[in-house]
Structure 1
């Protein structure tokens, strides 16, 4: 796969009728690591954590409150979704 471009991958998926994550149908280009903060300061609003609150509220709560990612985001002045009502 390291030599395939994105179009090659989608053509292979389509021609072999393979299942794929429906997240791609919502405009996302990759799934990535859900709790990763890498590059968060470059994202437009809503950022990945604000979106996570809407799409995966239980995982968002675990990430923000149990793992402490909310404190990290607050420290670097990045919205986590807690401020969104």
Structure 2
């Protein structure tokens, strides 16, 4: 079941029906940029690609807000013109 668009927040973590987990890096207008791991994407928690998507689609794709894992890499600094960034492993 989708979540309300108003529930999507920067720094928030969410989970899809396929158990993919996502962390919102930035929200600019109607666009959300997020990182994803686990579930159907089968990657670990670093380095994580940045994925831009319409906020309506993001809210429809996730089923629930979750606590961000303690071992998740630190929240990156998002820049308004950078949607293709990939975090470096530290």
**TM category, shorter:** under 0.3
From the two aligned structures, give the one with the greater helix fraction.
Answer: 1
TM-score, length-scaled by structure 2? 0.23
**Structure showing greater Rg:** 1
Higher relative strand content: 2
